[in-house]
Structure 1
Amino acid sequence: MSDPRVAEHMPLLSKKWDTDVAKKFIASKEQRWARDGLGHWAFLVDGRYVGWGGFQKEGDEWDFGLVLRPDAFGLGLRITREAIEFAIADDRIPFVTFLLPPSRKNLSALQRLGARHFGEVNYDGARFLRYRLETR
């Protein structure tokens, strides 16, 4: 999260990423698991940590987010496809939303998955492009 190549596409990352911020962040994600029964995962490839992400409930919607280490940027579509398979099998998730900052220019992978642009949304003062993928 402290790598500028990662932070560039995370407009809500407004604080310097240090141990205290990381601990609070992890605690907030664990609270989501306790409340919703689902949340974010750590992603491993061949036993190596490549990033984190997963589903976070926003109102009545399940939003999928993914943050990869720069040396794993090419794994996004593969990981997202596996997560979508999870969502399809989970009756709680009739569709998935994706919130992307306007700095993300290459959105062809989302379109290949079948996600459709669904407008824009302001979230904590930052503008995001909103996409939606039906899972039913």
Structure 2
Amino acid sequence: MKSHQSAQTMKPATAAKKLGVYLPATPAEFQEGVVSRAELNELQANPPEWLRELRQNGPHPRPVVASKLGVSIAGLARGGVTEALTTEQIEAVRSEMPEWLVKERATQAEVRKEAARLKRRDAERDAEEEQPAHS
């Protein structure tokens, strides 16, 4: 028996998210169509010029902006950054190093440190549970 697999498609917003690009900056034909899994794979494997340009220069979606600045998306919002930024704008924020960015980066560092501590604690607990009990 052959299994028939229909082509999976996704909305442009989903495809843009998976590609790490800001949907309003993509070409109209991308925004207005649907994207199949095969098309998404092809875009990832062989990005066209417009996709390379967007990934390099932006405007970038908030998750990418947050990552490039080393803060959370909520930290961006607290810092007043609600719009997509270009690579040049991100570099300008980095070079200005406003107080909110310093504070949010410190917050991110604490969050990462706590996550690492919890991961170590859980690993230690798991290791203890695997040890045979002594009678």
TM over 0.5: no
Q: Greater strand percent: which structure? A: 1
Q: Greater helix percent: which structure? A: 2
Per the normalisation by structure 2, the TM-score is 0.21
Per the normalisation by structure 1, the TM-score is 0.21
Q: Higher Cα Rg: structure 1 or 2? A: 2
